[in-house]
Structure 1
Amino acid sequence: MAHQITTPPDFDHILLVQSMGDDVPLVPPPGALLDFQGHENRLNDRLAPGEKAKGTIVGRDGFPTQHETYLQVVAEAYLETDDFGKSV
């Protein structure tokens, strides 16, 4: 799972996650986003290994507009903060 970069300051974050049920499609549609309510778009509020989180799949291209899912973060594969903290 990859964090969506919006505007500075932001961070690049890639996680290995595991579904906690059969509610996640094996191949989400292109452009599908996960919204984790209760987590702000801040570095110190990012999802962490071992954490369980409830998210809402916000779909595009005919996919249902909202679908709740539960994930567990297995590992943090990548984190980059330096390039995204500066305004251009």
Structure 2
Amino acid sequence: MKKITLISTALFASSVLAQTPVQPLTVYTYDSFSADWGAGPKVKAGFEKQFPQCQLNYVAFDNNGTLFNRVRLEGKKLKRMWYWA
């Protein structure tokens, strides 16, 4: 009886983990990074391969001033913010 309970618990837990929804991760960046010829597509592919539970989305801006204004306008709606120049 204990073996059946253990096996059924393991199967249930693995099925729950397999159904975890993909979480989006939005990255604000400059447009040349996210362009087809930039490093963005390779970074995205590598990141999503290493972390399959995340979907990386780029929001591209033409310059840093526009990017910072967007961050300022969104304010506390942003959960986390990192800036890498």
Bucket of the pairwise TM-score, normalised by the shorter protein = under 0.3
Greater RCO (Cα-Cα under 8 Å, separation 6 or more): 1
Q: With structure 2 as the length reference, what TM-score do the two structures score?
A: 0.25
Normalized per residue, which structure has more helix? 2
Say which one has the larger Rg.
2
Q: With structure 1 as the length reference, what TM-score do the two structures score?
A: 0.24
